[in-house]
Chains A and B, each alone.
Chain A
Amino acid sequence: MRFEKKDILDITSLDTKEITMILDTAQGMKEISERPVKKVPTLRGKTIIFFFQEPSTRTKLSFEIAAKRLSADTVSIAKSSSSIVKGETLIDTAKNLEAMNPDVIVMRHSSSGAAHVISKRVNCSVINAGDGTHAHPSQALLDMMSIREKKGTLKGLNISIVGDISHSRVARSDITGFSKMGAHVTICAPPTMIPKGIEALGCQIAKNMDACVEGADVIMMLRIQRERQGNILFPTEREYASLYGLNPPRVKLAQKDVIVMHPGPMNRGVEIASEVANSDCSMILEQVTNGVALRMALFYIVAGGSRHADSD
């Protein structure tokens, strides 16, 4: 199968065949990172620009390691060092980047749709590393990869997603992807953090945390971002933890072989208790490991793989 798309912008635009192909490719990439010499020449001579307009540690690092393990040349620009602070528009900045002939632009931006806007105006591939509250496709794909690795398939699984759905691009991409791959997705959050019409993405809303995790095969906990919201969405972290925190008694309500995930960074003692985060059912670090392989796969299919088969 060939991957025909230029960009990876969101999960909505990928069909199940494409998702499966990406996950299969990522699974194959995983082994590279386990070698003593963790580098293959696949993307030698390719240039990848990291255009991050919003703070990011693990996503950016993960993309960067992925690119380097494929031998691509990587360059980063951050908001503070870019011309955006001098008043240049996003489109102008992107056009200028393109003028230097990169093969891929990986971008993160605080505005929903920023990667879409750019992808239409540049010829190189654009990988969305998170846009506003819209999408974070590489995170959702690595989550799918991690679940598939443990459970064999997503089909028929009961997956619970708990936390700030409103402000989470991970939640939107996860819900879309999981349901596309045949899982039953149930979400739970304070009603202040559930956006109108979220069910249309492919999920149902649980009445409370216990109902949400009961019988779950997978529990995905989302980070609570106190720094962004003040205390109008919930009163205190203490109260949040008692209503929506994942603690050992709640884990017991789920399937015996439940896996617990978190896109990070965690607030221990708030959305997730340390006992749970440190337990055997936690896949949180595997997610990080898989993130590198998954991002290698994305680079491979947009810049080095079958999409360019004809010109090779």
Chain B
Amino acid sequence: MQILIKGARVLDPGNLDGKKDILVKDGVIEAILDPSGPSDPTGPGDPIDPGHSPDVQVPGVQVPGVQIIDASNMIVVPGLIDIHVHLREPGQEYKETIESGLKAAVKGGFTAVCSMPNTIPVNDNSQVTTFIINKGKAAGAAKVYPAGAISQGSLGTSLAEIYDMQQAGIRAATDDGLPVENSQMMRRALEYCKGLDMPIFVHAEDKSLVDGGSMNEGPPATFWGIKGIPNAAESIMVLRDIALCELTGAAVHFCHMSTAESIEAIRQAKKRGANVSCETAPHYFTLTDEAVLDYDTNFKMNPPLRSEEDRCAIIEGLVDGTIDMIASDHAPHSVDEKEVEFDRAAFGIVGLETSLPLSLKLVQDGFLSLTDLVVKMSKQPAKMLRIDNDIKPGNPADLTIIDPEIEYKIDPDTFISKCKNTPFAGRQVQGEAFLTMVDGRIVYQKNQ
């Protein structure tokens, strides 16, 4: 079976940008063709297209041997990769399963995700890694590249068998969900992982400063009487781990950055040539703590929504390249864990199915070019996870087709994720994944 993606703008930063047709065969990109006919919709019909003028949108028209996908007015990009996702399986299948999470991913336009190890049991050994990878393959949706734990049980006391997990398929080490509190432990983990050429993802949080807080420390927290989490709870650990990065030379990647101070610290570290990178999540450049109203626990996540100043600093970091990637920090929680008192509610929101439209807003607002966005949502995560996702013949056909024009309201009832804990319900957005292809297979297509 061959698939021909026709009429789209193909955008693979550093590699391709222009109107191309992509022929996919046996799961790989077979050829990248110059459009065989004029792409002007008022021009004559395309010779390969049987009787359809290109301005009529008929996706998936069948012709013998070749399935044609009319992607005019669409953008084909190398498959998006969400580098920070909680799939919850094993152990908390009521929140999400590997299958439901990976299906939500492809609906959101992601062809691959990196799963965090804070499952039950923790992914701190190769058996759990293998379980996740096998379940991931069986799901037939997005690919999963697990992250393994730094320390046994993510308890921060003894190193996990990171090499053994690497052999089984982990692409990064992290105790995400928890900080590595002991500096010596972190130092040794960085040194050890450097020897394995394995990046460490840092969950930057000083628990003693968080001290039971559940939203950003600031005027809104004071107003609602909710214990605050200061910016320094994050930036202290960022500064510590920059120091440890410079001490060891290991690759340090900071997860879900939320504060101006963290971004500035990373900016300076990069200027000095430190081997650091970082990601932020769409909620940190979209919302602030002013949005936390009436104890709505769908606005509770860790790190918390920060001030407007921080939100602007995050955007600035995205624009000047300090922030390398956008990840959703997809954190499904059941209604039972959210429909409770604010200070007792679980931290986290789902993000796989809202990340792309929320991030496209950065392009619509003129902060980022589409190329920049694809770099942050596909190319950089790919590089970090050692994936070659260039759109070129011979590579796996992992592609995302984006409809950049469609306008709609975010509706949690349409989510494939098992959980609907989002602060973005009802939000008006523009753009979404029209089709997601993994290994040449259409794993998601809108309205099909």
Contacts and interface: CB of A to CB of B under 8 A. Distances in A.
User: Are A and B associated in one complex?
Assistant: yes
Interface string B208-249: 000000000111111111111000000000000000000000
B340 to A, nearest CB: 6
Task: Give the top 8 A-B pairs by smallest Cβ distance, nearest first.
Answer: A134-B225, A197-B219, A113-B295, A111-B341, A112-B225, A133-B225, A195-B222, A197-B222
A172 B221 CA distance: 12
A196 B339 contact: no
Interface of B: 217-228, 294-295, 336, 339-344
A112 B224 contact: yes
Contacts of A184: none
B219 A200 contact: yes
Interface of A: 12, 89-91, 109, 111-114, 116-117, 131-135, 169, 172, 195-198, 200-201
Contact of B225 (A90, A91, A132, A200): A132
B28 to A, nearest CB: 52
B307 to A, nearest CB: 10
Given A195-B228, A200-B219, 9 more contacts: A90-B340, A109-B341, A112-B226, A112-B343, A131-B225, A132-B225, A196-B217, A197-B221, A201-B223
A196 B221 contact: yes
B340 A89 contact: yes
Contact of A117 (B221, B224, B295, B336): B295
B339 A197 contact: no
A90 B218 contact: no
A89 B340 CA distance: 7
Contacts of A112: 224-226, 295, 341-343
A89 B336 contact: yes
Nearest to B341: A111
Contacts of B221: 195-197
A82 to B, nearest CB: 15
A83 to B, nearest CB: 15
A113 B223 contact: no
Most buried by A among B218, B225, B294: B225
B340 A134 contact: no
B344 A111 contact: yes
A196 B219 contact: yes
Contact of B223 (A116, A131, A169, A200): A200
A211 B91 CA distance: 58
Contacts of B227: 133
Nearest to B342: A113
A175 B272 CA distance: 48
11 contacts: A112-B224, A112-B295, A112-B341, A113-B224, A113-B225, A117-B342, A131-B225, A133-B225, A169-B225, A196-B219, A197-B223
A297 B367 CA distance: 56
Contacts of A131: 225
Contacts of A135: 225
A196 B341 contact: no
A152 B343 CA distance: 40
A116 B336 CA distance: 18
A116 B225 contact: no
Contact of B222 (A90, A113, A116, A196): A196
A114 B223 CA distance: 15
Nearest to A109: B341
A116 B228 contact: no
B228 A196 contact: yes
B228 A111 contact: no
Nearest to B294: A116
B343 A196 contact: no
Contacts of A109: 341
B217 A111 contact: no
A134 to B, nearest CB: 3
Contacts of A197: 218-223
B218 A132 contact: no
B222 A198 contact: yes
Contact of A91 (B218, B228, B339): B339
Contact of B340 (A91, A132, A172, A198): A91
Contacts of A196: 217-219, 221-222, 228
B295 A201 contact: no
A111 to B, nearest CB: 3
A101 to B, nearest CB: 23
A111 B295 CA distance: 10
A116 B224 CA distance: 11
Which residue of A12, A89, A112 has the most chain B CB atoms within 10 A of its CB atom? A112
A118 to B, nearest CB: 10
Contacts of A169: 225
Contacts of B295: 112-113, 116-117
Nearest to B220: A197
Contacts of B342: 111-113, 117
A172 B341 contact: no
A132 B341 CA distance: 10
A90 B228 contact: no
Contact of B226 (A91, A113, A198): A113
A91 B227 CA distance: 22
A3 to B, nearest CB: 21
A201 B341 contact: no
A189 to B, nearest CB: 13
Contact of B224 (A89, A90, A91, A134): A134
Contacts of B336: 89
Contacts of B217: 195-196
A196 B224 CA distance: 12
B223 to A, nearest CB: 7
A76 to B, nearest CB: 21
A12 B294 CA distance: 12
B343 A132 contact: yes
A186 B222 CA distance: 17
A3 B30 CA distance: 73
